[in-house]
């Protein structure tokens, strides 16, 4: 069926265009349309087999490098090394496979939102059919508790309210009507005469004609967006791929030079082939992916303790470079619990403390606590709010202390019950004092609800609550300090000013009124809700989470921009954003209509100045994320609804709410917040930054060590010297000595100022900010001192080559083990951090040192590794040489600091 603005058309026109009547379709028409439109199901796109998903994990560049290293290790006869590398490849492949399988389940979860059955009219009779069999033109009947089975244009409503938060993000149920909406471009949340697939009927009844099924529905549009949204490589994945390519090309070039030079200097071809292959294996740190995985996995465990569940390992690191957090409002920044914060009665503003559905809080007047039961006007207003009410406030059972409080029914009415309960007024007490006789239910035309009650004295009253502007027009009197006085122009103006004052504070206001009924017959009049006595105003809000204020301030200090994206109204969104510190002076607020009018290029230009997006659709959220990404941002997108899923998947990292989030949002995400707490995101960012720093630390350590190994061999071949290191020794250093300290660096505690820095540029190389320079300088120094020890020993004892090689072997290992402590600081050196902060590193270094000693002194291992025992003076020489790379640079750093201080003192 062609795209039609059904919400802008009248009921008769909709029935005409869908070629149906209020009596529904005939069975023959249904079959014809099913052939034309297909089943009312969401498609899953092109199916990828599990085998293909698994094999795709082994196409990565670094994996291919590791496979080559496996072959080389096998040729050398180092089967343990080869088996280790293969195990690493398989483990990484399985992890990636499981992550992709879980991510692809998002569409299956989306399908579960479709209603299993539908009540429809066919052949003039009411029947229940599988929802998948609905076709455009079917007449569907809706009742409270039903899930809407397809997109409907409503043709009849009776107090119909539908909860659409999973689709629009709006926290309150939407009151429906059948009237056409003039604006053809009205957003989904403003189409009050439409009902959409997957949403839930919370109140009343309705009848609608099916105008879209399957993938043509709004839910189908979201499914299509999820299918077509591209999965983004994380910065870590891009950096490691870049690192792998650089290492391979450099290593192969240098290895080729070493082999050719050695042959030209008279070394045997086979001998140099083995040496060259050993260098190639050493130069490519095949343990790096394993160490990265271990570091990320340990970070995941820490994050679980901080209430963040990671679904994709690399996402931990991605959070660390996030520069923008796009956050949903309802349930993420706010508590998703309507709460009364202010009451206006008898010309006075009463503030109400407490939040959520807990009936705990106090009433304050001008900052001082008051007892509402001793203030007659306030008490009577609270009683009317609780009597004119169909909700229930229930405490769930959970042990002796009781469980959490829950509202069953309309959240607004629940807020009124909680308000009364804070004053010690319960529905049970009111039911004993006043009997309900009848109800005039809320509808979108009247915008009010009334109940008729009778007290023990036989007095009948009409109690009313509704929209302030509507209710005020029906009031002829007002209650002021216990007296009913006529509603004058000045009093009316005072009510309107109070309403405006409360609205500016983002409060959603309700007016309360009543009138005594002398003759019950007058209630049968066409419009009994007239001549009312105005009681006051009740202002409520979905309050911000208490910890959000500090979390957003911390994000600002860390250079991270927080953006609110919500389906709620612009006034409410703007007020909340300003209150919690998201919206700075001069920051822009844009609604869905304005966003729709912008081109992608215009949005990309303005997106840096926009902090709040209100009344937006799923397509808008996707556009916002992509505009930020085009400007170079690393975007974290949070959300809980079906409408958030496409943007969550397209973002650099998607974050879903664990408690209130839909399965669709969770499956599309990389990170799930177990406590739905925005502050948990900040904790995750801190962990992510620390993990990335640790990855850079062990990359620096491993590569500096490898540079030293290559340089020793390279310079020896150029100088025409014998091999200073044997292939088996190089492989042993690469597999054992390098690995344990590198893993220990992966659990290094984060530095204290980590959240005082701006996010790193996602385009920066892993060698940026001095890491590349440190790798080269430390590696060159390690290579020089190792070669120097070898040459001096060999020169002194030319007939004892094995001892010279043992000395070089020991110097290389000890220089690396000392250097690992220098790698702990990103910007400082070996003395800038407490060595006891990371006991695992001390243990790892001790084990590596013991392994070195065992290779040198355990007799069965000496012939394997071609080593001989060293005496005390040999070890003194080894340790003195091994300390030079780290301590010489530390001394230079200290000298530079002193010189800077001297210049500053001189300038003063």
Residues with catalytic annotation? 328
- 3-state SS track over 702-734: HHHHHHHHHHHHHHHHHCCCCCCCCHHHHHHHH
In this structure, what token pair is assigned to residue 379? 């008490």
Instruction: Determine the Cα–Cα distance for residues 659 and 305; give it in Å rounded to an integer.
Output: 16
Instruction: Determine the Cα–Cα distance for residues 639 and 645; give it in Å rounded to an integer.
Output: 8
Instruction: Determine the Cα–Cα distance for residues 738 and 736; give it in Å rounded to an integer.
Output: 6
- Give the DSSP H or E segment for 654: strand 653-657
Q: Could you tell me which residues come within 8 angstroms of residue 287 by beta carbon, excluding any fewer than 6 positions away?
A: 88, 702, 734, 735, 738, 739, 742
Dihedral angle of Cα 592, 593, 598, 603, to the nearest 10 degrees: -20
Which residue, 689, 563, 669, is CA-closest to 303?
689
For helices 678-718 and 235-264, angle between their N-to-C axes, nearest 10 degrees: 10
Longest CA–CA span in the chain (Å) reads: 124
Q: Please write down the long-range contacts of 651-659, taking CB distance under 8 Å and 24 or more positions apart.
A: 651/232, 651/326, 651/625, 652/232, 652/234, 652/235, 652/318, 652/322, 652/762, 653/234, 653/315, 653/318, 653/319, 653/322, 655/681, 657/331, 657/332, 658/309
Q: Return the residue matching tokens 């807020």.
A: 415
- Sequence length of the chain is 908
- 3-state SS track over 602-668: HHHHHHHHEEEEECCCHHHHHHHHHHHHHCCCCEEEEECCHHHHHHHHHCCEEEEECCCCCHHHHHH
Please list the residues that pair with 479 across neighbouring strands.
Answer: 484
Q: Return the residue matching tokens 């799930």.
A: 672
Q: Which of 878-889 are b and which e, b meaning 16 or more Cβ less than 10 Å from the residue's Cβ?
A: beebbbbbbbeb
DSSP state, 846? H
Q: Could you tell me which residues come within 8 angstroms of residue 612 by beta carbon, excluding any fewer than 6 positions away?
A: 563, 564, 566, 570, 573, 574, 577, 582, 583, 587, 588, 589, 590
Please report, for residues 249, 604, 620, 635, the alpha-carbon distance to residue 623 in angstroms, rounded to integers and kept in the order given: 39, 9, 5, 12
Please list the residues that pair with 276 across neighbouring strands.
Answer: none
Query: What number of other Cβ atoms are within 10 A of residue 756's Cβ?
Result: 11
Instruction: Determine the Cα–Cα distance for residues 103 and 308; give it in Å rounded to an integer.
Output: 17
Instruction: Determine the Cα–Cα distance for residues 868 and 857; give it in Å rounded to an integer.
Output: 7
DSSP state, 392? E
Please answer whether residues 801 and 865 qualify as being in contact, where contact means their C-beta atoms are separated by less than 8 angstroms: no
Please list the residues that pair with 635 across neighbouring strands.
Answer: 324
Please list the residues that pair with 163 across neighbouring strands.
Answer: 200
Instruction: Determine the Cα–Cα distance for residues 83 and 286; give it in Å rounded to an integer.
Output: 12
DSSP state, 232? P
Please list the residues that pair with 157 across neighbouring strands.
Answer: 206
DSSP state, 866? T
Instruction: Determine the Cα–Cα distance for residues 433 and 429; give it in Å rounded to an integer.
Output: 6
Instruction: Determine the Cα–Cα distance for residues 468 and 28; give it in Å rounded to an integer.
Output: 51
Please answer whether residues 669 and 308 qualify as being in contact, where contact means their C-beta atoms are separated by less than 8 angstroms: no
* Complete DSSP assignment for 183-230: -TT--GGG-TTEE-TT-EEEEEEEEEEEEE-GGGSHHHHHHHHHHHSP
Instruction: Determine the Cα–Cα distance for residues 744 and 883; give it in Å rounded to an integer.
Output: 21
């Amino acid at each position: 069926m062609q795209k039609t603005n059904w919400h802008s058309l009248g009921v008769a026109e909709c029935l005409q265009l869908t070629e149906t009547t209020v009596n529904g379709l005939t069975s023959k028409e249904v079959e014809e349309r099913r052939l034309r439109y297909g089943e009312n199901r969401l498609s899953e796109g092109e199916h990828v087999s599990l085998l293909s998903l698994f094999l795709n994990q082994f196409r990565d560049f670094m994996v291919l490098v590791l496979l080559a290293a496996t072959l080389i290790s096998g040729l050398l006869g180092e089967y343990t090394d080869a088996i280790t590398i293969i195990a690493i490849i398989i483990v990484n492949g399985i992890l990636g496979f499981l992550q992709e399988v879980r991510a692809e389940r998002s569409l299956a979860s989306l399908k579960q939102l479709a209603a299993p059955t539908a009540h429809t009219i066919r052949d003039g009779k009411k029947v229940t059919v599988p929802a998948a069999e609905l076709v455009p033109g079917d007449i569907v009947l809706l009742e409270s508790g039903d899930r809407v089975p397809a997109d409907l244009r409503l043709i009849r409503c009776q107090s119909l309210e539908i909860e659409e938060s999973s689709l629009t993000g709006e926290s309150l149920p939407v009151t429906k009507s059948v009237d056409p909406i003039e604006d053809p471009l009205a957003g989904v949340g403003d189409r009050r005469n439409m009902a959409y697939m997957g949403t839930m009927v919370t109140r009343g009844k309705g009848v609608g004609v099916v105008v879209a099924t399957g993938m043509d529905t709004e839910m189908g549009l979201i499914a299509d967006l999820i299918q077509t949204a591209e999965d983004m490589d994380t910065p870590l994945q891009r950096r490691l791929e870049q690192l792998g390519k650089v290492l391979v090309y450099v290593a192969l070039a240098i290895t080729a030079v070493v082999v050719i030079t050695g042959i030209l200097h008279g070394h045997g071809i086979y001998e140099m082939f083995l040496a060259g292959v050993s260098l190639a294996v050493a130069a490519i740190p095949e343990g790096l992916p394993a160490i990265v995985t271990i570091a990320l996995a340990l970070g995941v465990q820490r994050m679980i303790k901080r209430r963040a569940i990671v679904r994709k390992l690399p996402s931990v690191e991605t959070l660390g470079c996030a520069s923008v957090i796009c956050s949903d409002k309802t349930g993420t920044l706010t508590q998703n619990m309507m709460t009364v914060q202010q009451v206006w009665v008898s010309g006075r503003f009463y503030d109400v403390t407490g939040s959520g559905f807990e009936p705990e809080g106090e009433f304050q007047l001008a900052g001082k606590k008051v007892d509402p039961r001793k203030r007659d006007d306030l008490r009577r207003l609270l009683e009317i709010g609780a009597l004119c009410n169909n909700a229930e406030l229930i405490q769930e059972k959970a042990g002796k202390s009781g469980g959490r409080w829950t509202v069953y029914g309309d959240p607004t009415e629940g807020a009124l019950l909680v308000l009364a309960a804070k004053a010690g007024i319960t529905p049970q007490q009111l039911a004993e004092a006043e009997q309900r006789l009848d109800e005039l239910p809320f509808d979108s035309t009247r915008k009010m609800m009334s109940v008729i009650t009778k007290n023990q004295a036989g007095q009948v009253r009409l109690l009313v609550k509704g929209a302030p502007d509507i209710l005020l027009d029906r009031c002829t009197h007002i209650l002021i300090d216990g007296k009913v006085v006529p509603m004058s122009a000045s009093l009316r103006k005072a009510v309107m000013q109070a309403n405006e004052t409360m609205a500016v504070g983002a409060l959603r206001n309700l007016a309360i009124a009543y009138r005594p009924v002398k003759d019950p017959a007058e209630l049968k009049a066409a419009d009994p809700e007239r001549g009312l006595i105005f009681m006051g105003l009740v202002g409520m809000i979905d309050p911000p989470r208490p910890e959000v204020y500090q979390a957003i301030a911390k994000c600002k200090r860390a250079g991270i921009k927080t953006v609110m994206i919500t389906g709620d109204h612009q006034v409410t969104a703007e007020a909340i954003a300003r209150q919690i510190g998201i919206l700075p002076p001069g920051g822009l607020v844009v609604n869905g209509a304005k966003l729709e009018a912008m081109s992608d290029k215009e949005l990309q230009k303005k997106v840096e100045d926009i902090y709040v997006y209100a009344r937006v659709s799923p397509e808008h959220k996707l556009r916002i994320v992509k505009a930020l990404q085009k400007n170079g941002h690393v975007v974290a997108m949070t959300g809980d609804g079906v409408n958030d899923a496409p943007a969550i998947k397209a973002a650099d990292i998607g974050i879903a709410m664990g408690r209130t989030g839909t399965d669709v949002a969770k499956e599309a995400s990389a990170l799930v917040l177990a406590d739905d707490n925005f502050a948990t995101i900040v904790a995750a960012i801190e962990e992510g930054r620390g993990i990335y720093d640790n990855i850079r630390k062990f990359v620096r350590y491993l590569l500096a060590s490898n540079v030293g190994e290559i340089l020793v061999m390279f310079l020896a071949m150029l100088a025409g010297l014998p091999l200073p290191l044997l292939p088996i020794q190089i492989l042993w250093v690469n597999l054992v000595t390098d690995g344990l300290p590198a893993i220990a660096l992966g659990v290094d505690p984060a530095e204290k100022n980590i959240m005082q820095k701006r996010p790193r540029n996602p385009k920066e190389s892993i060698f940026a900010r001095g890491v590349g320079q440190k790798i080269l300088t430390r590696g060159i120094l390690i290579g020089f001192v190792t070669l120097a020890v070898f040459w001096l020993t060999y020169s002194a004892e030319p007939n004892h080559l094995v001892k010279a090689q043992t000395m070089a072997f020991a110097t290389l290992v000890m220089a690396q083990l000392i250097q690992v402590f220098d790698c702990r600081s990103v910007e400082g050196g070996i003395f800038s951090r407490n060595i006891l902060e990371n006991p695992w590193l001390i243990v790892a270094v001790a084990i590596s040192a013991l392994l070195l000693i065992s290779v040198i002194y355990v007799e069965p291992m000496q012939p394997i590794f071609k080593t001989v025992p060293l005496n005390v003076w040999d070890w003194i020489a080894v340790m003195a040489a091994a300390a030079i790379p780290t301590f010489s640079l530390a001394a230079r750093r200290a000298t530079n600091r002193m010189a800077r201080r001297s210049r500053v003192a001189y300038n003063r």
